[in-house]
Amino acid sequence: MSDETIQLMEKALHDNGFRLTAARRAIVAMLSRTGGHVSADELADLVRTEAPGVGRMTVYRTLDLLHELELVRPVYQGTGAAHYVLMEDGHHHHLVCSTCDRVIEFDDCVLEEVEKVVGQRFNFEVKGHLLEFYGRCQECQT
Partner DNA sequence: CTCTGTGCAAAGGATTTGCACTACG
Partner DNA sequence: CGTAGTGCAAATCCTTTGCACAGAG
Q: How many CB atoms within 10 Å of residue 55?
A: 12
Collapsed DSSP state (helix, strand, coil) of residue 79: coil
Q: Which one-letter amino acid corresponds to residue 13?
A: L
The answer to whether residue 21 forms part of the interface with a copy of itself (CB under 8 A) is: no
Q: Which of 4, 53, 92, 101 binds DNA (CB under 7 A)?
A: 53
The answer to whether residue 11 forms part of the interface with DNA (CB under 7 A) is: no
For residue 104, give the nearest of 74, 133, 84 by alpha carbon. 133
Pairing assessment for the beta strands 72-75 and 83-86 based on DSSP bridges: antiparallel
The answer to whether residue 34 forms part of the interface with DNA (CB under 7 A) is: no
The answer to whether residue 128 forms part of the interface with DNA (CB under 7 A) is: no
The answer to whether residue 76 forms part of the interface with a copy of itself (CB under 8 A) is: yes
Q: What residues line the site for a copy of itself (CB under 8 A)? A: 70, 73-79, 82, 95, 97-98, 104, 106, 108, 110-111, 114-115, 117-119, 121-138, 141
